[in-house]
Structure 1
Amino acid sequence: MVLQSNYAKRYVSNAENTPPTLSAAKSLASRLRNNIQQTSRRRRARTSGTSDAKYAVDQAKRRSTKSTAPVRFNVKSRSAASPTDVEMKDAEPERNTSSSSSNDKNVQLLLPRTLERPDYCEVKQEALVAVDPLFVDVNPSYLREQIREFGPTLLAALGTVKPSPVKDSLPKDLSLLIEDLATSPTHMLAVHGGAAPRSGAPKRRKVTLYPAHSIVFAAHCSKLPAFPPTTSPTPENEESYPMQISVPVRPLCLPSPETYPQLASFLYTKQTIPLLNSLLPCPIPTNLDEEGQQQVYAKRLGMTYTVPVLLHNIAMVLGLWKNVCALGVFDHLLWDTMDQAWEILLNALAVGTGTTIAVDEPTPASS
């Protein structure tokens, strides 16, 4: 089954800052190239190391101060809301044979105290060159800085894309109606999970199509194979809008296809508050960064929402974490935001289940 998503519209509407209008973004692609061309070769090629250094410092601090011991939660739930849907390495749930009734069961759930961070790995220069030969001597960190400036406008452009209908089979190319050729997507990503079909079931899987710009993913995802070289989208009609173009479809297998929209939106905007809100049951308070307020918020979640709801959000954070690890994304704001969501949810679950855990208020991610 092939689905098409309008996630860009939803996440742009929740952004902290309104991106420039499409008219203001005219010739955005050429502006990105001009910015890089006008920057001296020495500045472009230098190793700024900002993201690498920040991530490495955080990694060293975590390994010396963070507890790696998992936390055990005693959860009572009905079969329809079993926490066994929450899975993670060294976090497998253990079932208890005792039960309070025929409908309820006691489950011992082990969750890691902190999310494991892999060692830093920079994107390969060849992956950037595959997108555009202009990037042959451009430092990836500098390129990410440029994308951060233009990203909200690119994401807004994705919200205006209208793909042609797709039947059951996945095409190699897809026609799109766009509002601006300068900000048009370069690919349609066919996002799907890796689970094999059940025995005896037809060999079909759910695939969702998302418009995307290859440079955004090539600049951030160190473990993503390079995009095959492509030419600029060719209009299929006269230069009047909406314009029809054709772009290649690229399959993308992820551990958690459901959390692709959150990750993609962040890579375009680098806005932490919308990401944090999307991972939690209700919007965060405006004073969350004040001392003690994160624990107050977590306690309110634990007293307001049921354990199955909290487990759903925990599974969402784990899904995003799995995608980030699989793609090799090492943005420190992204990792800090996932850590903050994880800390809040674990403390909320502790309140909801009557479990005692050590409180750890990480430094809030700032966008």
Structure 2
Amino acid sequence: MSHHHHHHHHGHRQAPALQLPRRLARPQFEEVSRDAIVALEPDLADVPMEYIRKHLAGQANGMITALNLLNIPSSLPSARLPRVIDVPVRPSASMPASDAFPTHILALSSSRAPSAPTTPTQMSYFQQIMGITGPDPSPTTVPLFAVHALVLTAHCTLLPSLRPTRPTVRGSNLPLPVIPLTVPSVETFHLLHAYLHTRRADQLLKSLLPSLASGLPSQSASTSTTTSYTAQFTQERLVRLAQALVQTAAQQGGAGGALSGLMMHTRVVNGLWRNACALGVFDPELWGVMDIAWEVVLMALNRAVERERA
């Protein structure tokens, strides 16, 4: 952007585009803990990490099938969070292998400090009225996600250790331990959760840019582990996607609505990015998808701002 834009009398309107970082910062690469993997699967002690991740990617369909047989509540009251949930399993003609089933349930809460008053006098008064301790008036319900310990451990370098469990379906129930986990963005966690379990870069990009989904390429099954999905996105292609994104945003919300719609997109990508950083996920395709989405949304925002000024 050229330097004279801020003299413009619509200056306040373009602020959102200018306050956003040009690129998503990447933490220093770290490999996941071999000990954490071995604690879950002693047989994998000498298997290269990349091979473990490729193998898990190959198991993705079975894991998704198993996940879809489980009847897990999407959330539970935080006051009565059980230590184990007996999850009903729908009977199926072709039951997935037992190791395809999830091993834990994550009970998520936000690590963001809520906007409660911070001065001590205000705070203590506030606590008396609210009957709370500390600055976090906990949400009343906690979202739940069934996860595969090995999948998370193989991708997240900063995940607290998950106790090894070998849940087995008993009758028509699968008992799964509930593990509380705080993440920066609870509302976008489903995106990271889905990506780590499916490794579908195309589905993730379509989730981040839903209005462009029909025009985005799909990942072919044969190449998903060997070639990079994100490598096909040239700069020229990103520019075209950004143009299309501005148009759909304007159609959906008019000129002013286009900006707020695009700002929503930045919040979603930013939430996914914060979660990836907080859990220490370094998967190259995940970062490739986030970079593409961020760049497309920023270009679209800058265009929308310029349109408003035109």
TM-score (norm 2): 0.74
Change (3 A) 1:320 1:286: closer
Cα distance in 1 for partners of 2:169, 2:200 equals: 33
Q: Which residue does 1:133 correspond to in 2?
A: 42
Instruction: Give, as a single letter, the amino acid of the residue that structure 1 aligns with 2:238.
Output: Q
- How far the C-alpha of 1:279 sits from its partner, in A, is 0.7
After TM superposition, give the deviation of residue 166 of structure 1 in Å.
Answer: 4.3
Tell whether 2:263 aligns with 1:311. yes
Q: Per the alignment, in what secondary structure is the counterpart of residue 108 of structure 1? A: helix
Offset, 1:339? 0.5
Partner of 1:298: 242
> Which string of whole-angstrom CA distances, capped at 9 and with x for unpartnered residues, describes residues 66-109 of structure 1?
xxxx999x8xxxxxxxxxxxxxxxxxxxxx9x987xxx964623
Displacement of 1:275: 0.5
Describe the SS at the equivalent of 1:209: strand
The one-letter amino acid of 1:244's match is N
Distance 1:195 1:127 in 2: 27
For 1:108, which of 15, 29, 39 is the aligned residue? Answer: 15
Q: Distance in 2 between matches of 1:297 and 1:143?
A: 34
Which residue in 2 is equivalent to 1:209? 144
Confirm or deny that 1:353 pairs with 2:264.
no
1:275 match:
204
Secondary structure class of the residue paired with 2:160: coil
- Cα RMSD over matched residues? 2.9
3-state DSSP of counterpart to 1:157:
helix
Name the residue aligned to 1:186.
103
Cα distance between partner residues in 2 of 1:185 and 1:148: 15
Give the C-alpha shift of residue 296 in structure 1: 2.0
Structure 2 portions without partners, runs of 5+: 118-125, 218-231, 250-257
Structure 2 letter corresponding to 1:114: R
Q: How far apart are 1:159 and its partner, in Å? A: 2.0
Alignment of 1:18-33 (within 5 A): none
Q: Which amino acid aligns with 2:260?
A: P
Deviation of 1:286 (Å)? 4.4
Matched, 1:228 2:188: no
1:266 correspondence with 2:177: no
| Cα distance change on mapping 1:139 and 1:147 into 2, 3 Å | same
CA separation of 1:286 and 1:193: change in aligned 2, threshold 3 A:
closer
Give the AA of the match of 2:151: V
Structure 1 unaligned residues grouped into runs of 5+: 1-69, 75-95, 238-242, 356-367
Between the aligned partners of 2:281 and 2:69, the Cα distance in structure 1 is 27
2:76, 2:143 within 8 Å by CA — same for their partners in 1?
Answer: no
The offset of 1:251, in angstroms, is 1.0
Equivalent residue for 1:333, pick from 285, 296, 303:
285
Does the 8 A contact of 1:155 with 1:265 survive in 2? no
Moved more, 342-351 or 266-275: 266-275
Percent pairwise identity: 33
1:121 partner SS:
coil
The one-letter amino acid of 2:149's match is S
Determine the C-alpha separation between the residues in 2 that align with 1:325 and 1:291. Answer: 25
CA contact (8 A) 2:107 2:180 kept: yes
Contact map agreement 1:303 1:351 (CA 8 A) in 2: no
Amino acid in structure 2 at the alignment position of 1:316: V
**Residue 253 of structure 1 pairs with residue 182 of structure 2:** yes
Decide whether aligned partners of structure 1 residues 351 and 147 sit closer, same or farther in structure 2, where only a CA change above 3 A counts.
Answer: same
Does structure 1 retain, via aligned residues, the 8 Å contact 2:246–2:300? yes
**What is the TM-score normalised by the length of structure 1?**
0.63
Give the Å deviation of 1:152: 2.5
Task: Please state if 1:176 is matched with 2:92.
Answer: no
SS of the residue corresponding to residue 354 of structure 1 reads helix
Instruction: Tell me how far apart the structure 2 counterparts of residues 114 and 311 of structure 1 sit (CA, whole Å).
Output: 16
1:135 positional shift: 2.1
Deviation at 1:299, TM superposition (A): 1.4
In the other structure, the counterpart of 1:195 is 112
